[in-house]
Amino acid sequence: MKILKPPLKREDVEALEAGDKVLITGTIYTGRDAAHKRLVDLLDGNKPLPFDVNGSVIFYVGPTPSPPGRPIGAAGPTTSYRMDAYAPRLIEKGLRGMIGKGPRAQEVKDAMKKYGCVYLGATGGAGALMSQAVKKAEVIAFDDLGPEAIRKLDVVDFPVIVINDTKGNDLYIENVKKYKKG
């Protein structure tokens, strides 16, 4: 089991390989497609982002409302390809990790390899369980997006697995090859 503590350095993610099991402890951010579009629009307008993307990890999630006494509701990953149009730009700015589910476009994988970023898979359908790792949540940008607003999450032992590493390996492709042989 590997441990990641954002903010991450390039060396942190270069040490990971597709298939590695990882626990994240520290600050991660949430964001889905509408928030990603706004982030890229800010970059296009030469305006500051609402958080320092350099070294950050973004979790593709739109959490459910918080139950009493909890910082966040169910927080399961959303399908990542909806962020593919925006991800390379954020990776170029120093984004080091993305958490979601499903495969990524080749342009995203190329940017991860070039700039040093990993794609981490979270278990779909386990949002209630995953939310137990979230100790604090606060909206920091785009409140009008509701569940899709950007949140700053403090997490402890947030479980993920490396899908795409900085070397160009893809766990989804490798596992399909294994099962085709059998």
Query: Would you please indicate which residues are annotated as catalytic (active-site) residues?
Result: 36
Tell me the backbone φ, ψ of residue 18, rounded to 5 degrees. -50, 130
Write the DSSP string, the chain: -EEE-SSPPHHHHHT--TT-EEEEEEEEEE--HHHHHHHHHHHHTT---SS--TT-EEE---PPPPPTT-S-S-----BGGGGTTTHHHHHHTT--EEEEBS---HHHHHHHHHHT-EEEE--TT-HHHHGGGEEEEEEEE-GGGGGGSEEEEEEEEEEEEEEE-TTS-BHHHHHHHHHHH-
